[in-house]
Structure 1
């Protein structure tokens, strides 16, 4: 497995953490090859070159798999962008995910 650091800050709001990441996971939102950032909670944290960095709760992941849900890509990216204005990495909870499909 390939690991790398996202030490760069991009010109747009898609800023990546400086945590080591595992490359080769698909973005839950758009399907682009992304990097998974190690996490200690009940969520997966991804750094996607198209959607930016975000967290998706374990419950949301289970619901997406169970119901074969797909994110509305444009709407979800807009929501992520508004959440990043607070300076934190957005967490998509199961409740929020249901509004973004």
Structure 2
């Protein structure tokens, strides 16, 4: 399975709800809302790897597994 942020190798973690969860050696463990993934695919967009990794690192100070939703992706982008 591939990382949703950097496209490198990552482990897919099964989770409850409308999420895709990954554990990437470079990006760490995170969740991305299904709604956001569909929006990115429809618009042909990808994550900015550096900005997204930085945002995930800052969120890990508050939560163990950060979740990226549509409104957060707009702020990161």
Which structure shows the higher helix fraction? 2
Give the drift of 1:70: 1.2
Give the drift of 1:88: 2.2
Q: When the two structures are aligned, how many residues end up with a matched partner?
A: 77
RMSD: 1.0
Higher relative contact order (CA 8 A, sep 6+): 2
Q: TM-score, normalised by structure 1?
A: 0.72
Give the drift of 1:31: 0.5
Match of 1:39 among 11, 15, 18: 15
Residue 6 of structure 1 corresponds to none
Pair member with larger Rg:
1
Residue 44 of structure 2 corresponds to 68
Q: TM-score, normalised by structure 2?
A: 0.93
Q: Which residues of 2 match residues 17-36 of structure 1 at below 5 A?
A: 25-36=1-12
Give the drift of 1:72: 0.9
The runs of 4+ residues in structure 1 deviating greater than 6 Å are: none
CA distance in structure 1 between the aligned counterparts of 2:16 and 2:46, rounded to whole angstroms? 25
In structure 1, the gaps of 5 or more residues are 1-24
In structure 2, the gaps of 5 or more residues are none
The alignment partner of 1:65 has SS state of helix
Q: Is the aligned partner of 1:77 residue 2:53?
A: yes
